[in-house]
Amino acid sequence: MKEYSLQDKLWSNLLDQRRRNLILRKSSVRSNSAWRAYRLVVTIGLAFSFWVSFTPAQAETLSAASLCGDGSAPDYGLTYDLLQPHWTVGWELYASERAVNQVDRVLDQLNEDAIAQTMILILPQDQVGIRPNCAVHFLRYMQLGLPTGERKDNGFVFLIVVEPDSIDVHYAVGLGLPALTAYELTSINRAVENAYQSTHNMDRALLTLADEFNTVARSNYAPATPSAPTPETAEQPYGAVDTVAVCGQLCLGILLFLFLMWMFSQMGGEGGGRYYPPGSGPWGRGFRGFPSGGGRSFPSPRMPRMRGGSGSGRSGRTN
């Protein structure tokens, strides 16, 4: 009986130990699953909080840095080519090339007369931050204006901000154009805005801007006078040495003429000169030499005229 009781105790102890192991294993599995779930929830929470904090703050900072007028030196956040095919930049969605070419003719002449080196920038309102700053930054970035001379720093920029039903015009003036008053330039802005408001036609607005600015600029500045030519040296009277030199050259010329006449007479011979028909020569038939003309000609590609600043970029007033 004692043996059976001892065996029963051993079996019961083994069963109890196995139950404890199973319980511990289940509890460890549950604890591991709970820990994994906890880590997943914490990770998702951190990611969500980071996304929420990034979206309004940093995204706004990045978008603000890309707006014209909100950048800083040296490039002010601008990426335009310094040389442009037209004095008007950003016109493609708003104006015709015919109108842009007409504006180029007016602004080309102002530039050639050293009155003003002018560019027009057209941007939608969602790409512009501080509007007067945008005009100034564009003038500096494009380096408009002559860097030296009497008419240095004569850069000028018009900024046209396109809104849903109207346009807003601003300007930036180089330091070398102090005679252009704020009243005159603001009147140009209003005239351009009214021209667009009445027709909703950007061509009309650009042509009005070019005509009005040309009138105001030329009323304040005359075309730059070209530099005076170098005075010619006064003719000196011939001396004895000069007379001898002239006589010597004349004698040499006469001797050379007589020698050429004698050489041609020797080449003629008794029966006159030989005649070589086309395609033949003194070296036999078939020697053609190099053609003096004819053949196919390939026209060289004509490069378009590029326009841009002369290197100043120093600006003063803006509006």
- pLDDT for position 264: 73
Task: Please check whether residues 314 and 178 belong to one and the same domain.
Answer: yes
Same domain, 181 and 314: yes
pLDDT in tens, 74-94: 999 999 999 999 999 999 999
Res. 208: pLDDT tops 90 = yes
Angle between helices 182-199 and 202-220 (to 10 degrees): 160
> How many CB atoms are located within 10 Å of the residue 220 CB?
15
Instruction: Choose one of 15, 35, 65: the last residue of a domain.
Output: 65
Q: Do 52 and 158 belong to one domain?
A: no
The verdict on 37 and 139 lying in the same domain is: no
Domain shared by 187 and 89, yes or no:
yes
- Among 12, 39, 65, the domain-final residue is 65
In a domain, 13, yes or no: yes
Query: Do both 96 and 168 map to the same domain?
Result: yes
162-178 pLDDT, tens digit per residue, is 999 999 999 999 999 99
Structural domain count of the chain:
2
Predicted confidence at residue 256, as pLDDT, reads 80
Q: Quick check: is 291 in a domain?
A: no
What does the mean pLDDT of the chain come to? 79
Q: Mean pLDDT throughout 119-135?
A: 97
Which pTM does this prediction carry?
0.61
Q: Does residue 201 sit in the same domain as residue 108?
A: yes
In a domain, 261, yes or no: no
Tell me: do 94 and 182 sit in the same domain. yes
Residues 170 and 314 in one domain: yes
What range does the domain containing 122 cover?
Answer: 83-223+310-318
Quick one: pLDDT band at residue 304, thresholds 50, 70, 90? confident
Is there a domain that residue 314 lies in? yes
| Any domain includes 268 | no
Q: 50 and 113: one domain?
A: no
115 pLDDT more than 80: yes
Contact 170, 317 (CB under 8 A): no
One domain, residues 184 and 95: yes
Would residue 135 be called left, alpha or beta, if left means φ above 0 and alpha means ψ between -120 and 50 degrees?
alpha
Q: What is the pLDDT of residues 215-243, one digit of tens each?
A: 999 999 999 876 545 454 444 454 555 66
Tell me the three state secondary structure of residue 257. helix
Give residue 282's pLDDT.
47
CB atoms within 10 A of CB 218: 15
What share of the chain in percent tops pLDDT 70?
Answer: 64
Whether 288 maps to a domain, the answer reads: no
What is the rounded distance in angstroms from the CA atom of residue 121 to the CA atom of residue 69?
12
Which residue, of 65, 99, 115, is where some domain finishes? 65
What residues are paired with 68 via a beta bridge? 128
With a CB cutoff of 8 Å and minimum separation 6, the contacts of 316 are: 173, 174, 175, 177, 178
Q: Which residues of 110-131 are buried (b: 16+ CB within 10 A; e: fewer)?
A: bbeebbbbbbbbbbeeeebbeb
Residue 132: which CATH number? 3.10.310.50
For residue 149, the model assigns a pLDDT of 92
CA distance 160 to 88: 10
Residues 116, 20, single domain; the answer is no
